[in-house]
């Protein structure tokens, strides 16, 4: 299936992974950088930096470690921008995807478990075509090599307690089904000043939102990949105010 050049490119891309992957340990807000896993649920890979492969795992919800202490909930205003640091930088090709989920009745950002169809997508990135002719450079991803990522909390959501979920999907070896790599984390937010005029939709659940054989997770992005403009980011469409 693979041309020799594709194989070489693929392995060249895989090599840096032995040096480590990436996590999202610090929340950034209004110029502050909070300590590791403050307002962010500590992730299962906080030491190993390993990716998550299993799309049927409940770990996909927040990449959460077992028996974590409550990291606390940060109060922000709707419309504010918050960020996550990337420990290790985003060293793989793939989309950066953002979701939020409101705490169900009787739950808070710290007590909700992220189960059920409660997640709405607020942003995602798509590749753009580069101008350099080298195979890897014929396409680019907006957050490749990023050490921080940022997102605006939608202005129109109702005030309330939410999880904010950041996810990077690495697809550099996704020419083999199931070899997508998922990285992510959830921040616990108390959103104030929400206009409440927007009704987020549609909702997804984890696990359940993704399939190993969908076009955005099972494809070869190497060897002069010709359709970056048609890349289909996994999951539901983005909802905006
Ligand atoms: Cu990797």
Other C-beta atoms within 10 Å of 159: how many? Answer: 14
Q: What is the pLDDT of residue 179?
A: 96
| Secondary structure of residue 177 in the 3-state scheme | coil
Ligand 1 centroid – CA 13 distance (Å): 9
Domains assigned to the chain: 4-230 (2.70.50.70)
Which residues in the chain land under pLDDT 70? 1-20, 130-139
| Secondary structure of residue 176 in the 3-state scheme | coil
The per-residue pLDDT for range 193-211, each reduced to its tens digit, is 999 999 999 999 999 999 9
Query: Long-range pairs for 2-11 at CB < 8 Å and ≥24 separation?
Result: 2/175, 2/220, 2/223, 3/223, 5/135, 5/223, 6/175, 6/220, 6/222, 6/223, 9/135, 9/136, 9/222, 9/223, 10/172, 10/173, 10/175, 10/222
Q: What is the pLDDT of residue 4?
A: 39
**Which residues have C-beta under 5 Å from ligand 1, the single-atom ion?**
17, 181
- Report the C-alpha gap between 140 and 121 in whole angstroms: 22
Q: What is the pLDDT of residue 18?
A: 40
Q: What is the pLDDT of residue 131?
A: 59
Ligand 1 centroid – CA 170 distance (Å): 7
Sign for the pseudo-dihedral over CA of 232, 166, 213, 21: positive
Ligand 1 centroid – CA 108 distance (Å): 33
Task: Tell me the C-alpha to C-alpha distance, in Å, between residue 36 and each of 19, 27, 50, 59, 185.
Answer: 21, 8, 17, 19, 12
Ligand 1 centroid – CA 86 distance (Å): 14
39: DSSP letter: S
Ligand 1 centroid – CA 17 distance (Å): 5
Q: What is the pLDDT of residue 130?
A: 65
Q: What is the pLDDT of residue 70?
A: 98
CA 2 to chain centre: 28
Ligand 1 centroid – CA 51 distance (Å): 7
Ligand 1 centroid – CA 25 distance (Å): 18
Q: What is the pLDDT of residue 14?
A: 45
Q: 229: which 2 tokens?
A: 């403009």
């Amino acid at each position: 299936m693979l041309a020799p050049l594709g194989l070489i490119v693929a392995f060249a891309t895989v090599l840096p992974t032995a040096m480590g992957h990436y996590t999202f340990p610090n929340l950034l807000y209004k110029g502050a950088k909070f300590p590791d896993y403050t307002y962010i649920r500590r992730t299962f890979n906080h030491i190993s930096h390993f990716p998550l492969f299993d799309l049927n795992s409940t770990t996909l919800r927040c990449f959460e470690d077992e028996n974590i202490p409550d990291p606390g909930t940060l109060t922000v205003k709707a419309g504010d921008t918050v960020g996550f640091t990337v420990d290790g930088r985003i060293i793989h090709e793939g989309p950066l995807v953002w979701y939020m989920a409101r705490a169900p009745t009787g739950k808070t950002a710290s007590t909700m478990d992220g189960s059920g169809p409660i997640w709405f997508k607020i942003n995602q990135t798509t590749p753009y075509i580069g101008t350099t002719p080298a195979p890897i450079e014929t396409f680019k991803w907006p957050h490749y090599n990023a050490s921080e990522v940022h997102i605006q909390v939608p202005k129109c959501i109702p005030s309330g307690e939410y999880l904010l979920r950041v996810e990077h999907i690495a697809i550099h070896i996704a020419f083999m089904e199931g070899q997508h790599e998922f990285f992510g984390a959830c921040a616990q937010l108390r959103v104030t000043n929400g206009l409440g005029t927007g009704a987020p939709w549609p909702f997804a659940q984890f696990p359940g939102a993704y399939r190993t054989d969908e076009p955005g997770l099972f494809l070869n992005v190497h060897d002069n990949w010709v359709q970056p403009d048609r890349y289909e980011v996994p999951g539901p469409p983005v909802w905006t105010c």
